[in-house]
Structure 1
Amino acid sequence: MPAAPRDLSTACVRAGQPRQDAYDAVTTPISCTSTYAFGSSAELRDHFEGRTNREEYGRYGNPTVRAAEEKLAALDGGGDACLFASGMAAVTTTLFALLKKGDHVVLTSDCYRRTRSFVQNFLARYGVEASLVPAGDLAALEAEVRPETRVIVTESPTNPYLRVADIEGIAAIKKKFPKVKVLVDSTFATPINQRPLEQGADLVIHSATKYLGGHNDLLAGVVTGDAGLVSVVRDLRGVLGGVLDPHAAYLLIRGIKTLALRVERQNRTALAVAQFLEAHPAVERVFYPGLPSHPDHELASKTMSGFGGVISFVLRTSLEGTARALDACQLATVAPSLGGVETLIEQPALMSFYELTPQERAAIGIRESLVRLAVGIEDEKDIVADLERVLATVSQATKKEVFDAALS
């Protein structure tokens, strides 16, 4: 497993934070303003003709937001970064910026459902075609690339089965098609665990709501990468208006300062929890890249410095039995999202895919008894103890179901 760059912990704290405030504040101040004054018409002309570098209007930029963008660009190793009001705003604006009528997108199938819906359904209204390919199948991906393909979209790790993308392999395919850009959603990995730009991706997206913010108290999204590409996205952000407000940017900067520490702790805890779950008789299967049983374990070991804080697993029980198990949790909180300091747990069939029928869920690989666990920074033993108590009730219920079936 490759080590994370040693300077990332320092960049989390120091990047994008020069001493530029009039009051010499150690922390980046919140610049709470919607517009910016010009001293004269000559100063205005200098701004529009590129002779000065300053803000003009809140939809186009803000000093607090800019400080956060510079920090994130440094962390991902990109030339620039552009922040948004949510992760989905980052995804949709970036794809709108890169695509036009007649273009084609290739998307890996194991991905966030809103991204898939946007690509398959919404973009289709504007004449953009999409192809879904199985995660991890480079041959299938390359077979779907055509002359009109402009973007390959993948997550790494994916949601919810934590497939790890062979980004270098995808980048090698891209070289055969010069007009194609590779977009990687690296929300689950963070810049601490995986470096998509260094592996050949053109752009990286994060839902900064998750690990980057880290405290379940803000919504934000970011795209990082080549400065020229990011500038195209930034220009469209000014039109569509999905900007991040300075208060959220301030919270994001504060959260990022402890990112390396939190991710290191969550990596360690999640591996221990995954090992515990895999050995438990109430668990049918565990999906975690740190386990040798995961299909991408070897790839993850070569390309990631840590396996992340999210674990998916299937219980040996029904939809209702899984729901009862989650309701019995005393430490893990039943809630969507991930990446915060609190351990969160959810049943995708009842949370993210509730509106689908069992048949529709099965068609996209969502089992009724699938559970997604996002570990926080609580003590590892306390998280395991909570799960151990809950899984004991699942085992007892399963035995009763077998006994009742034998009597009937």
Structure 2
Amino acid sequence: MQATTQLLHSIPVDAQTGAIAVPIYQTSTYVQEAPGVNKGFDYSRTNNPTRQELEKIIAKLEGGTVAAAFASGLAAIDAVIKLLETGDEIVAVDDIYGGAFRLFEKVYKKFGISVTYVDTTDLGAINRAITSKTRLIWLESPTNPTLKVSDIQAIAAIADRYKILLAVDNTFASPVLQQPLLNGADIVVHSATKYIGGHCDVIAGLVVTRDPDLGAQIKFYQNACGAVLGPFDSFLLIRGLETLHLRIGQHCRNAATIAAYLQQHPAIDKVYYPGLLTHPNHDVAKKQQKDFGGVVSFSLRDDTEAAARQFVTSTELFHLAESLGGVKSLVSHPASMTHKTIDADKRKAAGVTDSLIRLSVGLEDAQDLINDIETALTIVSATSQTVSNKRKQKSTIC
């Protein structure tokens, strides 16, 4: 049976009513037959039938044993970090999501958990960063926003050798393209706000574990700390999962077309997309992913923040907004938006320059999207030429 069919038929028909959609159990509490005697539910923070079905589906989709749904992607990351103790260390990808960096540096650092950031595409750098206090390797693959792809299987072997955990943020690939647990990772995290939800109408996070005991610890923190996903939002994610394979396929096709167009455009300096043969991690991506995703990043030959800002405010079909993974195309300027909380020096060292632009390629017609980009590039080019002419005139006058 193919993956799409398996996914669709893993979403159960309601046994009580025959409803083909999972019911929304919008309730906070449940009537008990006697003290401590119930039908498997006592309070919706601890468990809820709608959320439970979502967790079962996503655990199966990722090839894991236990899944936990949270109120946001950051709440999911937070639950994973709670597995650690004061004095523990994390080795994390250098091109890291700004929200994760903020959580690591502004919240957990003061509790004695430290983080070393390395280029995780370099296995030697990972080995050199690990100490006797390291308890967790934190990956994003592909990364946000420069789309570095790390060899999950090789890094899992390193983690296993040192008896430490490997967690992979799988948001950009989605379980349709990549299943890190099957490549040896211990934990998978998703900002389900993105591709899993798929319609920019829900904030949610997911954690899936390979080991049931580790999963039990995550479930404990889910209940104890209370950042749970509500029943209606759980329903929205289940609905999003029903079309995930179809959407991801179109995202990938459109992104590949746009990446190829950008690569040959004279106004573009660099294009970051794992599907391009010129991408430094193309072979790794080809090995561990089924396709190359729906995000494309690039920088302009006019390597200035002003040019990048003009581009992102000149598109019409690509809406300027935070987030990604929705059916409509989005554009962002990471340095001033998603990654602004990261120190400028660290941000630039990881490749997130002031001129970098990130596209979340949606489901529109690819040629329409290319036309939109072309129009914005024309505006940027005209402005750059005007500025250049003014500088020449000023220089002549002086």
TM class by shorter chain equals: over 0.9
Aligned to 2:7: 12
Aligned to 2:197: 213
Aligned to 1:270: 255
Deviates more, 1:145-154 or 1:352-361: 352-361
Aligned to 1:60: 46
Aligned to 1:50: none
1:185/1:206 contact within 8 Å kept:
yes
Q: Which runs of 5+ in 2 are unaligned?
A: none
What secondary structure, in the 3-state scheme, does the structure 2 residue paired with 1:38 have? coil
Aligned to 2:31: 37
1:309/1:376 contact within 8 Å kept:
yes
Change (3 A) 1:91 1:355: closer
Give, in angstroms, the shift of residue 132 of structure 1: 1.1
Aligned to 1:380: 366
With the length of structure 2 as denominator, give the TM-score of the two structures.
0.94
Matched, 1:23 2:14: no
Count residues in correspondence.
Answer: 392
What secondary structure, in the 3-state scheme, does the structure 1 residue paired with 2:270 have? strand
Please give the per-residue CA displacement for 1:115-153, whole angstroms capped at 9, x wherever unaligned: 122223422222222211113111110111122211110
Change (3 A) 1:294 1:160: same
- Counting aligned pairs with the same residue, the percent is 38
Matched, 1:347 2:333: yes
2:168/2:189 contact within 8 Å kept:
yes
Aligned to 2:294: 309
CA distance in 2, matches of 1:304, 1:201: 15
CA distance in 2, matches of 1:14, 1:110: 37
With the length of structure 1 as denominator, give the TM-score of the two structures.
0.92
Could you tell me which amino acid in structure 1 is paired with residue 154 of structure 2?
G
Instruction: Specify which of 369, 384, 389 is matched with residue 375 of structure 2.
Output: 389
Counterparts of residues 165-176 of structure 1 (less than 5 Å): 165-176=150-161
CA distance in 2, matches of 1:389, 1:164: 31
CA distance in 2, matches of 1:356, 1:34: 39
Give, in angstroms, the shift of residue 357 of structure 1: 7.8
Could you tell me which amino acid in structure 2 is paired with residue 58 of structure 1?
S
Aligned to 1:3: none
Matched, 1:83 2:48: no
Instruction: Specify which of 180, 183, 191 is matched with residue 167 of structure 2.
Output: 183
CA distance in 2, matches of 1:364, 1:136: 12
Please give the per-residue CA displacement for 1:9-57, whole angstroms capped at 9, x wherever unaligned: 123322242532x22101000001101111123xx25x6xxxxx71111
1:83/1:221 contact within 8 Å kept:
yes
Aligned to 1:109: 94
CA distance in 1, matches of 2:276, 2:113: 38
Could you tell me which amino acid in structure 1 is paired with residue 224 of structure 2?
V
Could you tell me which amino acid in structure 1 is paired with residue 237 of structure 2?
L
Aligned to 1:198: 182
Change (3 A) 1:18 1:341: same
1:16/1:70 contact within 8 Å kept:
no
CA distance in 2, matches of 1:149, 1:323: 39
Deviates more, 1:384-393 or 1:268-277: 384-393
Could you tell me which amino acid in structure 1 is paired with residue 223 of structure 2?
G
Matched, 1:223 2:207: yes
1:314/1:371 contact within 8 Å kept:
yes
Q: Which runs of 5+ in 1 are unaligned?
A: 1-5, 48-52
Please give the per-residue CA displacement for 1:308-357, whole angstroms capped at 9, x wherever unaligned: 00011001232222222222211111101000100000111232244678
Please give the per-residue CA displacement for 1:61-110, whole angstroms capped at 9, x wherever unaligned: 100001111111111011121000000000011110x2011211111111
What secondary structure, in the 3-state scheme, does the structure 2 residue paired with 1:386 have? helix
Instruction: Specify which of 310, 325, 330 is matched with residue 316 of structure 2.
Output: 330
